[in-house]
Amino acid sequence: MNLTGGRNCIHCGRQLPAEDRAHRDKPLDCCGCGAVMTPRRLEDTRFDECDRCGGLWLCPATVASVGSQAEARARLRPFDLMPKAAEPGAKSSGGGAYRRCPICARHMNRSNYARGAGVVVDVCKDHGSFFDQGELTRIVLFIEEGGLEKMRRREDEDLRSRRRDVRRQAIQIGAPDPETSFATGVGGGSGLDLLGLLSRVLGVRIQ
């Protein structure tokens, strides 16, 4: 949360990136408090910062870079100070209300950033995501502590477990071995394709 027109970050003292007024026909209104946000650009990272509540608006490309690029996380983190009353494991401050996208005005979805992250983010799939103050910091900590890798390993193990369960059920009812069918080229090779194949073999829908 920095002052409009300020030159230095109030958290770390570093010079702020220039306001990116050319990127917006007009400034966006904050999804959290309704104040006008300041558009900023730091190298190839674009975002809008609320000078009142500290919320951040990130376009889809910037959200993706947070998950995949340490450089993007390092650029953005100084702009998101954890609220004093919040702890890393605290619930998201956005509450249960559905907010409107500041660009298209449609209600946004409230979505868990990742399994185990404990952060619920307001998402417009076409235009971007809104992070309440402190949420981006919690996500960065989650990623840098290996949270995404742990989540992917859990999902892989869940898929393997489901494959074992369905194969066992297929054998019990005398259906063709789904693993053999998959190995001979039925399906496209992905986990989702395999689950679709198993569903067809057993004649049931797999959630």
Listed range (74-83, 127-136, 160-169, 197-206) with the worst mean pLDDT: 197-206
- Residue owning tokens 């100084």: 78
More confident position, 36 or 180: 36
Which of helix, strand or coil describes residue 32?
A: coil
Structure tokens at 74: 């390092």
8, 57, 90, 96 from 36: Cα distances, Å: 19, 12, 27, 23
pLDDT of 69 > 50? The answer is yes
Please report the pLDDT score of residue 99 as a whole number.
Answer: 95
Report the chain's mean pLDDT, rounded to a whole number. Answer: 77
Give the whole-angstrom CA distance, residue 97 versus residue 108.
Answer: 10
Given a cut of 60, whether residue 31 has pLDDT beyond it is yes
Which residue type, as a one-letter code, is found at position 156?
D
Backbone angles phi, psi at 190, to 5 degrees: -95, 170
Q: What stretches of 41-109 show up as alpha helix (H) in DSSP?
A: 60-68, 70-76
Is the confidence at residue 110, as pLDDT, over 70? Answer: yes
Q: What is the mean pLDDT of residues 106-113?
A: 94
Q: Which amino acid is at 193?
A: D
H/E stretch holding 17: none
What is the rounded average pLDDT of the residues 102-120? 91
Measured from the Cβ of residue 59, the count of other Cβ atoms closer than 10 Å reads: 18
Report strand pairing: 128-131 vs 120-124: antiparallel
Q: Mean pLDDT over residues 53-78, rounded?
A: 89
SS3 168: helix
Model confidence pTM above 0.85: no
Element (H, E) at 53: none
Confidence tier at 187 by pLDDT (50, 70, 90)? very low
CA dihedral 47, 120, 110, 155 (to 10 degrees): 110
